[in-house]
Amino acid sequence: MAPALSDILRLTSSLLVLLLLMFCMGAINLEAQVRRLAPDEVGALLEVATQLGKKGWNRNMELCNDTKLPPKPDADNKVVCNCSFPGEACHVVAIYLKRQDLDGTLPKAIEKLPHLKQLDLWANYLSGKIPPEWANTKLEYLSIGVNN
């Protein structure tokens, strides 16, 4: 007996759903891989946080908030990463921590973020001199006004 048309349709549609599901899972996986921050920059970012007195970041969280530069001018409490380096991990390109009540020091560890271009620490309680290590960075934009 030939299979009924409705059976064939049902089989085809469940195959399609399965394919769609596999595609979605693959895509999600791919995105997770593409967006992963380079491991040594995770360490560097946590070191920066310690020096700044910034609480709440840890190794197990997704530290990149955004992948677009520049974000809104009032960007705050944001780490921007660039994930467009072909075949590579994401790299930190900007840190915005305005008005975060940070009471640490100007973080010398940013020299360990080789792709960092923008650093905004406006209006905190940070102290210390500009670390000589900052001369080794690729910083193009720096805002450290209204601090101690």
Total residues in contact with ligand NAG, by rule CB under 6 A: 13
Tell me the one-letter amino acid at 90. C
Q: Which of 69, 72, 88, 140 binds ligand NAG (CB under 6 A)?
A: 69
Report the distance separating Cα 23 and Cα 61, nearest Å: 26
State the minimum distance, in angstroms, from the CB of residue 34 to ligand NAG: 13
DSSP letters, 108-128, are GGGGG-TT--EEE--SS--BS
| 90 scored as a contact of ligand NAG (CB under 6 A) | no
Q: Which is nearer to ligand NAG, 7 or 62 (CB)?
A: 62
The CA dihedral of 22, 23, 28, 34, to the nearest 10 degrees, is 130
Q: Which is nearer to ligand NAG, 56 or 73 (CB)?
A: 56
Report the distance separating Cα 31 and Cα 42, nearest Å: 18
Stretch that binds ligand NAG, among 2-10, 11-19, 36-44, 55-63 (CB under 6 A): 55-63
| 73 scored as a contact of ligand NAG (CB under 6 A) | no
State the minimum distance, in angstroms, from the CB of residue 94 to ligand NAG: 8
Length of the chain: 148
| 18 scored as a contact of ligand NAG (CB under 6 A) | no
Report the distance separating Cα 66 and Cα 109, nearest Å: 21
User: Which residues of the shown chain bind ligand NAG in the complex (CB under 6 A)?
Assistant: 56-57, 61-63, 65, 69, 77-78, 82, 84-85, 93
